[in-house]
Amino acid sequence: DCVSFNCLADALPTSGDYTLTFRILDVDDTSKSYSNEKSLAVHIDQAQIKVKSQDTIYQYTQWQPESEVTSLQTPDGKKGDFRDVSVTIYKMDGEQKVPVDTVDTKVVGKYEIDYKYLGLEAQTTLEVIPSSAHIGAHNGSFSVGTPFDPKRLFDSATDNDGQSIPYSK
């Protein structure tokens, strides 16, 4: 005899508790059917990784791959752990992508950073740009017993953008 097996359930569009009814019908004798109900807890997968689409930093700035991540969530919506993210970094050499271990912030250039987390992928580009930061000072001499004033040796300073910074800052 042939037995037909049907699972009677609607689509499960939201999280929550559902009851599934499994019914077996005897195709030769439709008056014979067997059913069983089972509970099913449905949880919407809230896992996500979001990164900045692009970023720019100045030379000699400290940088870590996690600084580009704007959101990292586990499947149940809790804050994710960056240690579970795999990161691949490529130095852009024209149109070529060259795999590297880290972003070298001492050298001006562009990087592509790929992130993988729980089967999800995200990508950002990072550009290291020249810094115009500078501190100028000169040598000096002081007499024993004279108070030392470092301002006397200071000439000038500029920030990353080349804007003048006064000694007081």
Rounded (to 5) percent helix, strand, coil in the chain:
5, 50, 45
Tell me what the pLDDT averaged over the chain comes to.
86
Asked whether the predicted pLDDT for residue 92 surpasses 60, the reply is yes
Contacts of residue 110, Cβ cutoff 8 Å, sequence gap at least 6: 91, 92, 125, 126, 127, 128
Could you give the CA distance from residue 39 to residue 17 in angstroms, rounded to a whole number?
7
pTM: 0.67
| Eight-class DSSP state of 83 | G
| C-alpha pair distances (Å), 65 with each of 28, 29, 93, 110, 159 | 65, 65, 20, 14, 24
Q: Domain residues of the chain, as ranges? A: 3-42, 48-129, 132-169
Q: What is the pLDDT of residues 28-77, one digit of tens each?
A: 776 777 777 777 777 788 999 999 999 999 999 999 999 999 999 999 89
Q: Are 118 and 81 spatial neighbours (Cβ–Cβ below 8 Å)?
A: no
Domain 48-129 has CATH 2.170.150.20: no
Of the pLDDT bands very low, low, confident and very high (cuts 50, 70, 90), residue 2 is very low
Asked whether the predicted pLDDT for residue 136 surpasses 80, the reply is yes
pLDDT for position 119? 95
Asked whether the predicted pLDDT for residue 1 surpasses 60, the reply is no
